[in-house]
Amino acid sequence: HTHANLKGRNLIISIFLNVVITIAQVIGGLVSGSLSLLSDALHNFSDVISLIVSYVATRLAQKKASEDKTFGYKRAEILAAFINAATLIIVAIILIK
Protein backbone atom coordinates (compact mmCIF):
# COMPACT_ATOMS: atom_id res chain seq x y z
CA HIS A 1 0.00 0.00 0.00
CA THR A 2 1.03 3.61 -0.40
CA HIS A 3 0.88 6.57 1.93
CA ALA A 4 -0.33 9.93 0.74
CA ASN A 5 2.06 12.84 1.10
CA LEU A 6 0.82 14.48 4.30
CA LYS A 7 3.70 16.94 4.74
CA GLY A 8 1.72 19.96 3.56
CA ARG A 9 -1.42 19.07 5.51
CA ASN A 10 0.49 18.42 8.70
CA LEU A 11 2.33 21.73 8.36
CA ILE A 12 -0.95 23.60 7.91
CA ILE A 13 -2.37 21.96 11.04
CA SER A 14 0.83 22.80 12.97
CA ILE A 15 0.67 26.42 11.79
CA PHE A 16 -2.94 26.73 12.93
CA LEU A 17 -2.28 25.18 16.34
CA ASN A 18 0.79 27.35 16.94
CA VAL A 19 -1.17 30.49 16.05
CA VAL A 20 -3.85 29.53 18.58
CA ILE A 21 -1.22 28.85 21.26
CA THR A 22 0.55 32.14 20.52
CA ILE A 23 -2.68 34.15 20.81
CA ALA A 24 -3.55 32.40 24.08
CA GLN A 25 -0.09 33.13 25.49
CA VAL A 26 -0.23 36.80 24.50
CA ILE A 27 -3.65 37.18 26.14
CA GLY A 28 -2.53 35.27 29.24
CA GLY A 29 0.72 37.23 29.44
CA LEU A 30 -1.04 40.59 29.18
CA VAL A 31 -3.77 39.66 31.68
CA SER A 32 -1.34 38.24 34.25
CA GLY A 33 1.54 40.62 33.52
CA SER A 34 3.82 37.65 32.86
CA LEU A 35 6.93 38.53 30.89
CA SER A 36 7.68 34.82 30.74
CA LEU A 37 4.45 34.08 28.86
CA LEU A 38 5.03 37.00 26.50
CA SER A 39 8.56 35.75 25.78
CA ASP A 40 7.23 32.29 25.03
CA ALA A 41 4.57 33.84 22.78
CA LEU A 42 7.34 35.54 20.82
CA HIS A 43 9.14 32.21 20.55
CA ASN A 44 5.96 30.49 19.35
CA PHE A 45 5.42 33.30 16.84
CA SER A 46 8.90 32.62 15.46
CA ASP A 47 7.85 28.96 15.22
CA VAL A 48 4.81 30.01 13.18
CA ILE A 49 7.05 31.95 10.81
CA SER A 50 9.40 28.97 10.57
CA LEU A 51 6.53 26.62 9.80
CA ILE A 52 5.24 28.95 7.09
CA VAL A 53 8.72 29.13 5.55
CA SER A 54 8.92 25.33 5.71
CA TYR A 55 5.51 24.96 4.08
CA VAL A 56 6.48 27.27 1.20
CA ALA A 57 9.80 25.42 0.78
CA THR A 58 8.02 22.05 0.76
CA ARG A 59 5.66 23.29 -1.94
CA LEU A 60 8.57 24.67 -3.99
CA ALA A 61 10.58 21.46 -3.60
CA GLN A 62 7.74 19.50 -5.20
CA LYS A 63 8.15 21.38 -8.48
CA LYS A 64 9.73 19.43 -11.29
CA ALA A 65 13.03 20.34 -12.90
CA SER A 66 12.93 22.44 -16.03
CA GLU A 67 15.44 23.35 -18.74
CA ASP A 68 16.69 26.41 -16.88
CA LYS A 69 16.33 24.88 -13.40
CA THR A 70 17.88 21.49 -14.00
CA PHE A 71 18.06 20.60 -10.30
CA GLY A 72 14.50 21.75 -9.71
CA TYR A 73 13.66 23.48 -6.47
CA LYS A 74 15.06 20.92 -4.02
CA ARG A 75 17.41 23.50 -2.52
CA ALA A 76 14.43 25.50 -1.27
CA GLU A 77 14.27 23.22 1.76
CA ILE A 78 17.93 23.90 2.56
CA LEU A 79 17.35 27.65 2.32
CA ALA A 80 14.29 27.30 4.53
CA ALA A 81 16.36 25.52 7.18
CA PHE A 82 18.91 28.36 7.05
CA ILE A 83 16.18 31.00 7.39
CA ASN A 84 14.63 29.10 10.32
CA ALA A 85 17.96 28.86 12.13
CA ALA A 86 18.66 32.55 11.57
CA THR A 87 15.20 33.43 12.93
CA LEU A 88 15.82 31.48 16.13
CA ILE A 89 19.18 33.18 16.64
CA ILE A 90 17.62 36.63 16.16
CA VAL A 91 14.81 35.87 18.63
CA ALA A 92 17.37 34.59 21.16
CA ILE A 93 19.38 37.80 20.86
CA ILE A 94 16.22 39.90 21.28
CA LEU A 95 15.24 37.94 24.39
CA ILE A 96 18.70 38.27 25.92
CA LYS A 97 18.61 42.08 25.68
- What mean pLDDT is predicted for residues 13-41? 95
Question: CA-to-CA distance for 27 and 41, rounded, in angstroms?
Answer: 9
Q: Show Cβ contacts of residue 46 under 8 Å, excluding neighbours closer than 6 positions.
A: 87, 88, 91
**pTM, full prediction:** 0.76
> 62-84 b/e with 16+ CB inside 10 Å = b?
eeeeeeeeeeebeebeeebeebb
The residue count of the chain comes to 97
pLDDT on residue 4: 57
Structural Rg of the chain based on CA atoms: 17
The answer to whether residue 26 scores a pLDDT higher than 70 is yes
The answer to whether residue 84 scores a pLDDT higher than 80 is yes
Average pLDDT taken over every residue of the chain:
85
